[in-house]
């Protein structure tokens, strides 16, 4: 009996064993659906597609509660031990899916300098072309990336950015979706040092992708990518968009895919589609660093903007940078590419 409350939990469970079993099953099922819906494939439906994005924070909130319940089950309420054990199992499985992203990958320093080259890649969502043009140009001027993926940047945004970055030696390639505006636009920047590249558009989605290859990229393909967000009613299209990344991650040649995927590694479709790729942030132990939204503290939020690359391309450095006018942080990755 709990002296503080006067409630004998063990006795209550013994008097109503069937009700107790239903209660235990309900609590465990509720927590499992909150933490692990992707393992049952439920993350292709609302609200699980949205909720699972915040699994690291759900776990952070649940862990103290589960620990307290486990302590009470051991010390006072023995009947709750099965419930505590099941909840601990759910939390441990969830943590096993999350925590590896916060640990640098051993040996992910890339191939030796003699065997490869460095490419700096930037991915950034301009928020329907509202990101400050001067700030974006300054990002390019400061970081001197070889390749840039700008999403929600159509012809209008390109026309304002081009005069600022073309004198730095960059060429811009833009593809725009059906609405013709910045929201559905994707613009790829390529440094002049990479030579005359070939450009391929993939227009048959709400947000088209732009693929660069050839020139000094050789067989390497660079893709500026954007998927629809998993809002209510848009989840099927979002699922299809993200699944399409497999054409590059599972393709026959080397590839780098960068942009706003509106997905994290807590989404089963993202894990499946990127099975042949490594994530630059996760390789550097920064796979939980939030890239959206900037109006929350910089320690909370999902990482939905990524730089992905097929093996054996590896990340040597990863960082984020805030740009005025957008609710996304720019992703900056330095990659070591063999050959």
Integer Cα distance of 127 and 183 in angstroms: 7
Q: Band of the pLDDT at 180, cuts 50, 70, 90?
A: confident
Is the pLDDT assigned to residue 77 strictly greater than 80?
no
Is the pLDDT assigned to residue 15 strictly greater than 70?
no
pLDDT tens digits for range 195-207: 999 999 998 888 9
Using CB atoms within 10 Å of the CB of residue 113, give its burial: 0 to 12 exposed, 13 to 18 middle, 19+ buried: exposed
pLDDT at 200: 96
- Please give the mean pLDDT across all residues of the chain: 90
Integer Cα distance of 140 and 135 in angstroms: 9
Integer Cα distance of 294 and 309 in angstroms: 25
**CB neighbourhood size of 96 (10 A):** 9
pLDDT at 141: 98
pLDDT at 338: 92
Q: Which CATH superfamily is domain 113-338 in?
A: Endonuclease/exonuclease/phosphatase (3.60.10.10)
pLDDT at 82: 81
Integer Cα distance of 150 and 187 in angstroms: 5
DSSP code at position 104: P
Average pLDDT over residues 205-210: 92
pLDDT at 80: 76
Within the chain, which residue ranges are assigned CATH 3.60.10.10?
113-338
Is the pLDDT assigned to residue 5 strictly greater than 70?
no
Size of the chain, expressed as the number of residues it contains: 339
Q: Regarding predicted confidence, which is higher, 114 or 228?
A: 228
pTM of the model: 0.90
How are beta strands 209-213 and 221-226 bridged, if at all? antiparallel
DSSP code at position 216: G
pLDDT at 115: 73
Integer Cα distance of 306 and 122 in angstroms: 9
Whether the CB-CB separation of 329 and 291 falls below 8 Å is answered with yes
In the chain, pLDDT over 70 holds for what percent of residues? 90
């Amino acid at each position: 009996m709990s002296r503080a409350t006067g409630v004998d939990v063990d006795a209550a469970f013994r008097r109503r064993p069937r009700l107790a079993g239903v209660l235990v099953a309900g609590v465990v099922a509720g927590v499992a659906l909150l933490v692990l819906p992707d393992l049952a494939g439920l993350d292709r439906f609302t609200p699980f597609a949205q909720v699972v994005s915040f699994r690291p924070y759900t776990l952070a909130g649940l862990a103290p509660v589960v620990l307290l319940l486990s302590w009470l089950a051991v010390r006072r309420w023995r009947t709750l031990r099965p419930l505590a054990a099941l909840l601990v199992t759910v939390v441990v499985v969830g943590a096993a899916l999350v925590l590896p992203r916060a640990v640098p990958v051993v040996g992910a320093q890339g191939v030796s300098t003699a065997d490869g080259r460095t490419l700096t890649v930037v991915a950034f969502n301009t928020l329907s072309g509202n990101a400050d043009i001067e700030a974006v140009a300054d990002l390019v001027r400061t970081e001197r990336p070889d390749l840039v993926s700008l999403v929600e940047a159509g012809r209008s945004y390109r026309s304002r950015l081009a005069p600022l970055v073309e004198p730095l030696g960059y060429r811009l390639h833009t593809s725009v979706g059906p609405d013709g505006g910045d929201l559905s636009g994707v613009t790829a920047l390529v440094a002049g040092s990479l030579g005359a590249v070939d450009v391929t558009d993939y227009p048959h989605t709400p947000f088209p992708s732009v693929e660069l290859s050839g020139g000094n990229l050789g067989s390497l393909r660079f893709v500026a990518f954007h998927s629809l967000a998993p809002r209510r009613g848009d989840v099927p299209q979002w699922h299809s968009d993200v699944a399409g990344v497999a054409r590059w991650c599972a393709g026959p040649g080397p590839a780098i895919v960068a942009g706003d995927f509106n997905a994290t590694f807590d989404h089963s479709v993202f894990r499946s589609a990127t099975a042949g790729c490594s994530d630059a942030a996760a390789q550097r132990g920064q796979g939980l660093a939030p890239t959206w939204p900037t109006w929350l503290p910089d320690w909370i939020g999902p990482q939905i903007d990524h730089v992905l690359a097929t093996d054996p391309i590896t990340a040597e450095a990863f960082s984020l940078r805030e740009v005025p006018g957008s609710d996304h942080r720019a992703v900056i990755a330095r990659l070591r590419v063999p050959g």
